Amino acid sequence: MSRINVRHPGFLLTEMLVATAVMGLILTGLALAMNGFARFNRYQLVRQRCIAAALAQLDSIAAMGNPIPQEDFQRLWPKLATSVSSSPGAGQWEGLTLVEVTATAKSFRKDVKVRLNRYVPGDSTLKDDSKTNPIAKED
């Protein structure tokens, strides 16, 4: 008598374990990639906020002669700090004032620092030459 091999439909236990392990590796790789993208996007968002805050300070100084008031700045950009300094222009820039605004913030463990400069008309210095907006405490 010959024996007939009968194949039963379905999966073996080892096939299920291998499929589960492969799916776990794929999901782990996907989670790590998404975490990297999230960190990069957060850094870019904080950098854009620093640029916006520094530009707003420069525009305020150019238009009104003084930086944005502390309470307004903290309301608009609660986790940013800026420092403003000015110096008289030299050479071809004589008669103008060089205003430098530095905006800083934190993105995860990275410090984001943006420094913008602009010459403004007139030789008048800022009313508060080194105005600093401290970083707000995180809750």
Cβ count within 10 A of residue 96: 16
Mean pLDDT (whole number) for 86-98: 90
| Average pLDDT over the chain, rounded to an integer | 84
Give pLDDT tens digits for 23-76: 999 999 999 999 989 989 999 999 999 999 999 999 999 998 889 998 999 999
Written as six digits, the tokens of 100 are 């430098």
Distances (CA, A) of 69 to 85, 110, 127, 128: 15, 27, 12, 11
Q: What is the dihedral of CA 28, 31, 32, 34, to 10 degrees?
A: 160
- The answer to whether the pTM exceeds 0.75 is no
